[in-house]
Each structure stands twice: as C-alpha cells, then as structure tokens.
Amino acid sequence: MIEHLRPGVTASGARVVLFDFDGTLSTIRSGWVEIMVPMMVDILAGLGTGESEADLREIVLEFVGRLTGKETIYQMMALADEITKRGGAPEDPKVYKKMYLDALMERIKDRLEGLESGRTSPEEWLVPGSRALLEGLKARGLKLYLASGTDHANVVQEAKLLQVYDYFDGGVFGALDDLKAFSKAILVKQIVDSAEHKGEEFLAFGDGYVEVQVVKEVGGVAVGVASDEPACERVDDWKRNRLVGVGADWIVPHYANTELLMRTLFPE
Ligand SMILES: [Mg+2]
C-alpha cells in the first residue's frame, strides 16, 4: 500500500508539514474533474473547429491535470487561451470559474448540508486515516499548514465542517482574488525566507502535483496521495504517474494504515 520510490529517504528531518486539501484530506469536492472537463469540452466544441470531442477531452484533461493544485482560475485562463488559439473570443476567465463553481456547488451541496446538520460524519468525506495521520504528526511536534487552490472562504468552511481546521497551527490558506498575494510556492518561500524553517524541513502531502513540486524544489520530501476519489481504496494511476514525475518520495492511496505509514516516514 505504501510505495517507497527512494529507499533510504525518510521524513525524520521534517519540522513542518504542508497539506493540500481537496483529494488529499477532503473528498467533499470529489467528482470536480467530471464537472470541469465536460464544461470545457462543450465550450471548445462550440467553436466548430472540427476537432472530435475525444481529442478535445484529451487536450482539456492535460491542462486541467497539469494545473491541479494551483488556484482554479489558472485552469480557466488555460481554457481562455485554448479558445483564443481556435480563433474564438474568450470571456474573462472569472466568468468560466463562476460557471464551473455553480455547477460544482449543485453537485456537492447535499454533502455540505449533511455535514452542517450533523447527519453525516466528517469521516465520510475524509480520505481514510486522515485524522489519525494529523494526530500522529501533531504528536511528533510538527507544525501543520493547509494550503489549497480552492477559494479561501470555502477551504476554511470545509476544513471546519470536517473538523480538521484546528490541527493547522501554521494556518489555513486558500486562493485569493489577487493571484500575486497567495500561492503554495509563495507560502513556502515566505516560511523559508523568514528563516523559520529550512526547505529541507518540509514534508508535503498532496494529490495534485503543485504542492509536491513546490516542496521538492526547496529540498523537502513529499508523499504523493494518488487517491481514487471518492472511495480512496486503490492507487489512481493517472494521479500516481503525475506525482512520480514531479518527484514524490512515497505514493499512497490513503492513510488507513496510519501506524505503518508513520513508521515508514519516521523510522526508528
Ligand atoms: Mg488536491
């Protein structure tokens, strides 16, 4: 269940942990790809270039995947570029982002209501083992940060609904309208520049490759979470391959065997 890509590498030097949210801890938004991708394929197909839907789907899947983990607006900017390339006149990317979020909200509103009312247990929308993992990392004295490409207010709300918000003593960060004000790279750089922690003291957990890449670039170590949402039982090959490509040190489908995972990351 735990694939160790760099035998000998451990997380024993880690002092600070950067978690992605969607697909890494939360499965509330799972299924978002199947909202975003068909929406984009429809828009591109409407330009009448003669490309098949299958070809368009492949193009869209590539950039959506490549930009997963960054703020959602970047995927919409890529869509606008594809429209321009085909001779179309794109709307402001914010228009596409709103269209997508409205459709996604329709899909997940029952999940949110279930959590708000207490009918649903938070564990139902957490990647298995998440809470035990967060507890284990806290018990080791690590400082935890949550950083997401989802809009800030939503990350805060959903982290609270899942009752994981309080684990993040480093802070909870989400996308802001001002793209220069926040990104996972900016957050890591700020922590390193403040001399609070060195790059090699970072451990990342993420299912989209941005957080893995950012932490690997500063010399940290990373667990790629190739969760097959929403079940999170097996490794999703598409996610795995991207995470391996960007340098993940370990690949897991979930954290259900928390003790084994902690022993693997922190031997002795
Ligand atoms: Mg994610």
Give the pLDDT confidence score for residue 37 in this predicted structure.
98
Give the pLDDT confidence score for residue 182 in this predicted structure.
87
Give the pLDDT confidence score for residue 1 in this predicted structure.
85
State the pLDDT confidence band at 159, using cuts at 50, 70 and 90. Answer: very high
Q: Give the distance (Å) from ligand 1 centre to CA of residue 92.
A: 24
Q: Give the distance (Å) from ligand 1 centre to CA of residue 210.
A: 9
Q: Give the distance (Å) from ligand 1 centre to CA of residue 208.
A: 5
Please write the tens of the pLDDT for every residue from 48-91: 999 999 999 999 999 998 898 889 999 999 999 999 999 999 99
| Surrounding residues of ion ligand 1, Cβ less than 5 A | 20, 22-23, 207-208
Q: Give the distance (Å) from ligand 1 centre to CA of residue 70.
A: 9
State the pLDDT confidence band at 229, using cuts at 50, 70 and 90. Answer: confident
DSSP 268: -
SS3 state of residue 76: helix
Q: Give the distance (Å) from ligand 1 centre to CA of residue 69.
A: 5
* Mean per-residue pLDDT, 99-127: 97
Q: Give the distance (Å) from ligand 1 centre to CA of residue 84.
A: 28
The highest-confidence range among 183-192, 225-234, 258-267, by mean pLDDT, is: 258-267
242-13-226 Cα angle (round to 5): 20
Q: What percent of the chain has pLDDT over 90?
A: 88
Q: Give the distance (Å) from ligand 1 centre to CA of residue 235.
A: 15
Which one, of 232, 25, 55, lies nearest residue 130 by Cα? Answer: 25
Q: What percent of the chain has pLDDT over 70?
A: 100
Pairwise CA distance, residues 127 & 166, whole Å: 17
Whether the ω angle into residue 230 lies within 30 degrees of 0, i.e. cis, is: yes
* Mean per-residue pLDDT, 140-154: 96
pTM above 0.75, yes or no: yes
Give the pLDDT confidence score for residue 152 in this predicted structure.
96
- The CATH number given to 3-27+126-265 is 3.40.50.1000
Convert 82-109 to b/e letters by CB count within 10 Å (16 or more is b): bbeeeebebeebeebbebbbeebeeebe
Q: Give the distance (Å) from ligand 1 centre to CA of residue 50.
A: 33
Q: Give the distance (Å) from ligand 1 centre to CA of residue 227.
A: 10
Sketch the domain layout of the chain as residue ranges.
3-27+126-265, 33-117
pLDDT of 124 over the 90 cut: yes
Task: Find out whether 245 and 216 touch, Cβ atoms under 8 Å.
Answer: no
